[in-house]
Structure 1
Amino acid sequence: MSSTFTVGDLIDRLTAVGPDTPVCLAINPSFPFRHGIAEVIVVNDALGRPTVYVTEDGDQQGPVPPEVTVAAGWHEPTEAPRRPHTGIAAQ
């Protein structure tokens, strides 16, 4: 597999889900947040080769779910610590 993610790679992954499925960007492995997509823009580099840019819409939509960060290799799987029961009832 190429180290560059291509349009073909993206098409292959997207055709595995329904066409009405929402698409978001997961950005920043250190502080992962979900962002909406604004535009897909194609420009040519100095050698005339096209590159596709997926732009975000500026709308930070909340944290990326843990299963996404784990699947992306950004974080290790973790579980919330267990809290001991104190036996104190609310009054």
Structure 2
Amino acid sequence: MPRTEMTVGELIDQLSTFDPNTPVHLAMNPFFPMEHRLEQVVQATDVTGRAVVYLAEGRDADTQFGHLPPEVAVLLAWQGPVQAPPRRPRRTAGGK
């Protein structure tokens, strides 16, 4: 099944359901999920001559917030919910 690219119209439709004063962050790299501040939106032409809109992070050192919260990675289906391992019974001082 071929992947389709999100269009500006689809992005606007999805964003229109949120409070317009809500900050926008980028979730990057599903294998090492990080969170970035969105700073710029620009339009350019790609190598095929199509117009493309790019969402870009900033240049400042604090533009990357750090690891993406686990619950967001789960919502994006980048990772599954993590369960704590079962607890083992504690050993007594006698080693039994």
Aligned residues: CA RMSD: 2.2
1:76-87 residue pairs with structure 2 within 5 A? Answer: 76-81=80-85
Matched, 1:63 2:64: no
Q: Residues 13-68 of structure 1: CA distance to partner in whole angstroms, max 9, x if unpaired? A: 11001110010000111111100012101012355421000011142102111121
- Could you tell me the percent identity over the aligned residues? 44
In structure 2, the partner of 1:30 is 31
Q: Which runs of 4+ in 1 moved over 4 A?
A: 82-86
Structure having the higher strand fraction is 1
d(CA) in 1 for partners of 2:79 and 2:47? 36
The higher radius of gyration belongs to 2
Unaligned runs of 5+ in 2: 91-96
- What TM-score comes out, normalization by structure 1 length? 0.78
d(CA) in 2 for partners of 1:43 and 1:27? 21
Matched, 1:73 2:63: no
In structure 2, the partner of 1:17 is 18
How many residue pairs get matched?
85
d(CA) in 1 for partners of 2:32 and 2:47? 33
Unaligned runs of 5+ in 1: 87-91
